[in-house]
Amino acid sequence: MTDAYVVGVDMIKFGRFPEKSVPQIGAESALLALDDCGLSIQDMEALYCGNLMQASAMVGQRILQEIGQTGIPVVNVSNACATGATAFREAWASVKAGLYDIVLAVGVEQMGRGLLGGTGGKGIPKEGLFGSGTMPAVFAEAGMEHARKHGTTFEQFAKVSVKNHHHSTMNPKAMYQIETPLETVMNAEMISYPNTKLMCSVNVDGSAAAVIATEKKARELGLLGRAVKVCASVLTSDRWQERDLVMPDVNTCTQEAAAKAYAMAGLGPEDIDLVELHDCFATAEILHYENLGLCGAGEAGRMIDDGEVALGGRIPVNVSGGLLSKGHPLGATGIANIYEVSTHLRGEAGERQVQGARIGMTHVIGLGSACGIHILEKAA
């Protein structure tokens, strides 16, 4: 089977664009990614489009109406917060399978404000009657499970947000570029203890796109120089766990995806130079240090205390600013993190560059659940 490469990739600066349509927002990053490799939509053999909130509205086709209706096959993908990663993976799979030589993947979302989640159903509203189905609460409960097992503190969870906000001061495409000290994070409005408002991802609009090609095609087009090899692409769902149906287990599906990704790439955690992982809430990031094998069980609190996951540390995590400060447009996130890692592997990340980065990992979790992991390597 051929290797597949990211030959063009980009994202728009995340923000709030109520005056634009979802396809318009998606078209912007699609054009940027095509420009990144000097190609046009006429060169693309298929489009894989990730979007959650308008999953029934043919967003991919409407993006082509904005940038060129060439009649290529379009697949619209929806998979909660793993939507972008799933669209990217479907694009990757089509190239690996030999179906196409070069394809485009776009992830896009236009978000409202306020809490996500909650419980629906017939009869009376269940929110606040049988606990909370809001996302800050669900991920707070997952964090408190870690606190129960390992004594993780509110302060350690809060430090994740301080770190990621610091990182985003160096990322012009992040929603925010604001230093956010520990007291500010801990004293912000409490949403669901232990997650304060500044420990919740930012609802923003955004899009990101990638052009994926076979090795042969990338070479023919003279694009291997800046290309990034996709060494592993893995998607898992939530295996049965004793509490999973009332307390979504984001750990097992991540651990299993990570193990498969390392095996597929023939690599281990010690080979990874940077990670963009799913910090939808500060509590979640702590769990994934262990789930991805970046440290041993129970060591995540120490990782954040010792600065090992900060830029300049042993294994920098979310140098983009993460979902906590770069922002989290659900369908775009899984391709935006491919952009971030690729930018470091290309040595083009400017002030926030992870020095000497050669191999990086991306991770997303869509609650319900879907876990997507990619391992990327600078082309030889």
Asked whether 86 and 235 are in contact (CB, 8 A), the reply is yes
CA distance 233 to 121: 35
For another protein, the closer of residues 36 and 238 by Cβ is 238
Distances (CA, A) of 61 to 57, 76, 216, 235, 332: 9, 9, 28, 25, 17
CA distance 86 to 107: 9
Task: With CA atoms as reference, report the closest residue to 195 among 151, 132, 144, 245.
Answer: 144
Nearest distance, CB of residue 298 and another protein, angstroms: 15
Q: Give the footprint of another protein on residues 89-128 (CB under 8 A).
A: 115, 118, 123-128
Single-letter amino acid code for the residue at 39? L
Give the count of residues interacting with another protein (CB under 8 A).
36
CA distance 259 to 253: 10
Asked if residue 86 binds another protein (CB under 8 A), the reply is no
Looking at 328, 344, 363, 374, which residue is catalytic?
A: 328
∠233-238-242 over CA atoms, to 5°?
A: 150
Asked if residue 140 binds another protein (CB under 8 A), the reply is yes
Asked whether 272 and 361 are in contact (CB, 8 A), the reply is yes
Asked if residue 132 binds another protein (CB under 8 A), the reply is yes
For another protein, the closer of residues 124 and 380 by Cβ is 124
The span of 63-71, 140-148, 166-174, 215-223 binding another protein (CB under 8 A) equals 140-148
Which x/- pattern over 215-244 shows residues binding another protein (rule: CB under 8 A)?
-------------------------x-xx-
For another protein, the closer of residues 133 and 307 by Cβ is 133
Read out DSSP for 2-55? --EEEEEEEEPPPB--TTS-HHHHHHHHHHHHHHHTT--GGG-S-EEEE-STTT
Asked if residue 26 binds another protein (CB under 8 A), the reply is no
Asked if residue 137 binds another protein (CB under 8 A), the reply is yes
For another protein, the closer of residues 129 and 297 by Cβ is 129
For another protein, the closer of residues 133 and 347 by Cβ is 133
Asked if residue 190 binds another protein (CB under 8 A), the reply is yes
Nearest distance, CB of residue 316 and another protein, angstroms: 29
Task: Answer positive or negative: Cα dihedral of 17, 20, 23, 29.
Answer: negative
For another protein, the closer of residues 3 and 244 by Cβ is 244
Is 363 part of the annotated catalytic residue set? no
Single-letter amino acid code for the residue at 270? E
Is 328 part of the annotated catalytic residue set? yes
CA distance 202 to 328: 6
Asked if residue 130 binds another protein (CB under 8 A), the reply is yes
From 53, 144, 178, 264, residue interacting with another protein (rule: CB under 8 A) = 144
For another protein, the closer of residues 63 and 142 by Cβ is 142
Asked if residue 129 binds another protein (CB under 8 A), the reply is yes
Q: What residue has token string 């707070």?
A: 140
> What is the token pair recorded at 299?
């060591």
From 1, 246, 297, 380, residue interacting with another protein (rule: CB under 8 A) = 246
Q: Give the footprint of another protein on residues 146-165 (CB under 8 A).
A: 148, 154
Looking at 37, 49, 81, 231, which residue is catalytic?
A: 81
| β-pairing verdict for 4-11 and 206-214 | antiparallel
Nearest distance, CB of residue 136 and another protein, angstroms: 8
Asked if residue 296 binds another protein (CB under 8 A), the reply is no
**Lateral strand order in the sheet of 47-50:** 74-77, 47-50, 102-109, 206-214, 4-11, 228-237, 370-378, 359-366, 274-276
Residues that bind another protein (CB under 8 A): 115, 118, 123-132, 134, 136-137, 140-145, 148, 154, 189-195, 240, 242-243, 245-247
Residues with catalytic annotation? 81, 328
